[in-house]
Amino acid sequence: MDLTKEQINALISCCEKLGCSYSQQEPLEKHTTFRAGGPAELFVRVQNGETCAELLHLARQLKVPVHILGKGSNLLVSDQGVEGLVLHMESKQNEFQRKGNEIIAWAGENLSALCMYALEQKLSGLEFAYGIPGSVGGAVYMNAGAYGGEVKDCLKWVRYLDENLQEQLLPAEQLDLSYRHSMFCGTDCVILEACFELKEGNSEDIKAIMDDVMFKRRDKQPLEHPSGGSTFKRPEGAFAAALIDQCGLKGRRVGGACVSEKHAGFIVNDKQGSCQDILDLIEIVRAEVKEKTGYELETEVEFWGK
Ligand SMILES: Cc1cc2nc3c(=O)[nH]c(=O)nc-3n(C[C@H](O)[C@H](O)[C@H](O)COP(=O)(O)OP(=O)(O)OC[C@H]3O[C@@H](n4cnc5c(N)ncnc54)[C@H](O)[C@@H]3O)c2cc1C
């Protein structure tokens, strides 16, 4: 379904009234770390909850489908693009608020910038997240984690728009957080703000852990090429990268997409491949791993598309 002129005009007038920047047919390859994917019919940048709610109300009245975009670091977008409105939760340039040992962050902020802010404030607990290239909202959405830590460990509460576009605030214990999952997955809720409860620490110790985490990332991950991070979730009782490696799939290629030689858990788009190249390679990997090991790999990366 392409948007009608009436739908586009109504949404654009709303953006202009709210002072949001927008573009039509915005190439989403510019907004995903895979650097692949077609356009969004209408792409709007939002920096606060009120603007978000107003645009979502209108989109609902107009029956326009909506996608919420953070930093696009866990997304694979179809070469044909996505229908409707893409709301990009844009950074406010690191406006973090400290209250005691808590930090409150807008969903569009960069997760690594939040880690840097915690370091400046001598607050410990977020070191594990340093280098995850997502937004705060995206990290809460999928309970991002690394090196023995996860968002769940230090999240205190989340302010969000529920499926009726009402603002709600829930403590972390009620968010159903588990491995790469939260209650927000697969819903139309929009995460607006998150509060992290940290502990007082000392700068040298916090920085040493962050440096170590970054060293490990650079050492083990193919950060020099576009990717969506780990392509597959960790199956119970095994590691996706080890299974893929065991099947001899490192270096397997479809067009511009390749199973990384450096880390078999990453599919990299090292030769400007299309989304279809990446999807085809994902299917080859899943089929070979299933056939040779019996494990069914599930993608961690999310697919948007027509
Ligand atoms: C090189 C590399 C390394 C990575 N390493 C890790 C790692 O160590 N650990 C890890 O967990 N992940 C890792 N990732 C994956 C990714 O960075 C995380 O999943 C991150 O949390 C995604 O955030 P995002 O803002 O980019 O979300 P997006 O990719 O923009 O969106 C992903 C999903 O979250 C939803 N979403 C985003 N923001 C909101 C919001 N405000 N409200 C509601 N829904 C929202 C989107 O609609 C979509 O469904 C890595 C990725 C790359 C490219």
Q: Do residues 189 and 174 make contact, with C-beta atoms less than 8 angstroms apart? A: no
Residue 223 CA: which ligand 1 atom is closest? Answer: 1
> Does residue 291 surpass a pLDDT of 70?
yes
pLDDT digits (tens, 9 = 90+) for 37-81: 999 999 999 999 999 999 999 999 999 999 999 999 999 999 999
Going from the Cα of 91 to the center of ligand 1, the distance in angstroms, rounded, reads 14
Q: For residue 97, list its beta bridge partners.
A: 104
Q: Distance between CA 88 and CA 22 in Å, rounded?
A: 10
49 Cβ below 6 A of ligand 1: no
Q: For residue 85, list its beta bridge partners.
A: 42, 66
Q: Do residues 140 and 151 make contact, with C-beta atoms less than 8 angstroms apart? A: yes
pLDDT digits (tens, 9 = 90+) for 82-105: 999 999 999 998 779 999 999 999
- Would you state the pLDDT for residue 94? 79
Q: Distance between CA 194 and CA 144 in Å, rounded?
A: 14
Going from the Cα of 237 to the center of ligand 1, the distance in angstroms, rounded, reads 24
- Token pair listed for 193: 């703000």
Nearest CA to ligand 1 atom 10: 144
- The angle formed by the CA atoms of residues 219, 217 and 116, to the nearest 5 degrees, is 135
Residue 34 CA: which ligand 1 atom is closest? Answer: 53
pLDDT digits (tens, 9 = 90+) for 257-268: 999 999 999 999
pLDDT digits (tens, 9 = 90+) for 239-289: 999 999 999 999 999 999 999 999 999 999 999 999 999 999 999 999 999
Q: Distance between CA 173 and CA 170 in Å, rounded?
A: 8
Confidence of residue 214 (pLDDT cuts 50, 70, 90): very high
Nearest CA to ligand 1 atom 28: 72
Dump the DSSP string for 42-87.
EEEEE-SHHHHHHHHHHHHHTT--EEEESS-TTEEE-TT-EEEEEE
33 Cβ below 6 A of ligand 1: yes
Helix axes 203-220, 111-120, angle to 10 degrees: 150
- Token pair listed for 86: 């893409």
136 Cβ below 6 A of ligand 1: no
Q: Distance between CA 135 and CA 107 in Å, rounded?
A: 6
Residue 69 CA: which ligand 1 atom is closest? Answer: 30
Query: What is the b/e burial string over 124-134, where b = at least 16 CB atoms within 10 angstroms of the residue's CB?
Result: bbbbbbbbbbb
Q: Which residue has the tokens 């080859």?
A: 284
Structural domain spans, the chain: 5-89, 96-209, 222-299
The two most distant CA atoms of the chain are separated, in Å, by: 57
Going from the Cα of 122 to the center of ligand 1, the distance in angstroms, rounded, reads 26
- Token pair listed for 4: 């009608």
- Would you state the pLDDT for residue 32? 98
Q: Distance between CA 202 and CA 138 in Å, rounded?
A: 28
- Would you state the pLDDT for residue 1? 64
Going from the Cα of 109 to the center of ligand 1, the distance in angstroms, rounded, reads 12
Going from the Cα of 134 to the center of ligand 1, the distance in angstroms, rounded, reads 5
Nearest CA to ligand 1 atom 19: 74
* Run of H or E residues at 130: none
137 Cβ below 6 A of ligand 1: yes
302 Cβ below 6 A of ligand 1: yes
Which residues, in sequence order, are CB contacts of 159 under 8 Å at separation 6+? 49, 167, 168, 169, 191, 192, 193, 194
Phi/psi at 285 (5° precision): -60, -45
133 Cβ below 6 A of ligand 1: yes
Q: For residue 281, list its beta bridge partners.
A: none
% of the chain beyond a pLDDT of 70: 100
Which residues, in sequence order, are CB contacts of 177 under 8 Å at separation 6+? 143, 150, 151, 152, 155
The class level of CATH for 5-89 reads: alpha beta
Residue 136 CA: which ligand 1 atom is closest? Answer: 25
Going from the Cα of 4 to the center of ligand 1, the distance in angstroms, rounded, reads 31
- Token pair listed for 169: 């605030």
- The dihedral through the CA atoms of 264, 266, 267, 268 has a sign that is negative
Decide yes or no: CATH 3.40.50.300 for domain 222-299: no
pLDDT digits (tens, 9 = 90+) for 100-151: 999 999 999 999 999 999 999 999 999 999 999 999 999 999 999 999 999 9
List, by residue number, the catalytic residues. Answer: 180, 230, 300
Query: What is the b/e burial string over 198-223, where b = at least 16 CB atoms within 10 angstroms of the residue's CB?
Result: beebeeeebeebbeebbeebeeebbb
> Does residue 7 surpass a pLDDT of 70?
yes
Classify domain 96-209 by CATH number. Answer: 3.30.465.10
Q: Distance between CA 34 and CA 292 in Å, rounded?
A: 28
